[in-house]
Structure 1
Amino acid sequence: MRVPAALLLLPLVSACEQGDLTVLITDAPADGLTRFEITLRGVDIEGTDGSYTEFDFDPPRVVDIVPLRNGNTTALLQDAGIDSGDYTGIRLRFETDERAPGESLPVARENGDQLQLAYVEDTAEVAVSFGIDDLGSETLLLDLDLRRSVREDDDDIADGQLRFDPSLRAVINDQRATLSGVISPAIYNQAGCLPAVYLFEEFDRDPAGLADNDPPLASTVASIADPTGRGYRIGALEAGEYTAAVTCDAAVDDPEAGEVDTDITFEVTANVRLRAGETVTRNFP
Structure 2
Amino acid sequence: MTRIARRCLMLAVATTLAALLSGCDDGKVGVELSADPAATTANRQIGVSIEAITLQRDDGSEDRIKLDDPVTVDLLLYNGRTFTLLDAESLDAGDYTGIRLEYRNPQNDDGKDNYVIDGNGARQALIVDADDAFTPLDLTVKKKGKTYTLQLRIDLRLSYSENSNTDERHLAPVMRAVRDTKAAKVSGSVKDSLISGSDCKDGRNTGVGVTVYAFNKLAEGTEPHDYDGSEPRAIATTPITGSSGNWRYNLPLLPPGDYTLALTCNGDIEDPTELQSDEIEFLSDTHDVELGEGDDDDKDFN
1:82 to 83, 91, 102: 91
Q: Which amino acid aligns with 1:68?
A: Y
Contact 1:182–1:283 (Cα < 8 Å) also in 2 = yes
The 3 A distance-change label for structure 1 pair 114 and 282 is farther
Residue of structure 2 equivalent to 1:22 = 30
1:265 to 255, 277, 281: 281
State yes or no: 1:152 paired with 2:162. Answer: yes
Moved more, 203-212 or 230-239: 203-212
Contact 1:23–1:139 (Cα < 8 Å) also in 2 = yes
3-state SS, counterpart of residue 165 of structure 2: helix
- The one-character-per-residue Cα deviations of 1:107-165 (angstroms, maximum 9, x if unpaired) are 134465642111223766312131211122211111111111112222342xxx31111
Residue of structure 2 equivalent to 1:218 = 236
Larger radius of gyration: 2
- TM (norm. structure 2) is 0.76
Residue of structure 1 equivalent to 2:211 = 196
Q: Which amino acid aligns with 1:37?
A: G
Structure 1, unaligned runs of 5 or more:
1-12
Shift of 1:168: 1.4
3-state SS, counterpart of residue 45 of structure 1: strand
Q: Which amino acid aligns with 2:261?
A: A
Structure 2, unaligned runs of 5 or more:
1-20, 203-207
3-state SS, counterpart of residue 277 of structure 1: coil
Q: Distance in 2 between matches of 1:177 and 1:230?
A: 21
Q: Distance in 2 between matches of 1:90 and 1:234?
A: 21
State yes or no: 1:106 paired with 2:122. Answer: no
The structure with the largest helix share of the pair is 2
Q: Distance in 1 between matches of 2:299 and 2:23?
A: 45
Of all paired residues, the percent bearing the same amino acid is 26
Residue of structure 2 equivalent to 1:240 = 257
- TM (norm. structure 1) is 0.80
Q: Which amino acid aligns with 2:125?
A: Q
Q: Distance in 1 between matches of 2:179 and 2:166?
A: 36
RMSD: 3.0
Q: Distance in 2 between matches of 1:119 and 1:132?
A: 30
The structure with the largest strand share of the pair is 1
Shift of 1:275: 2.4
Shift of 1:206: 4.6
State yes or no: 1:231 paired with 2:231. Answer: no
Q: Distance in 2 between matches of 1:92 and 1:104?
A: 15
Shift of 1:280: 1.3
Contact 2:55–2:100 (Cα < 8 Å) also in 1 = yes
Shift of 1:104: 9.8
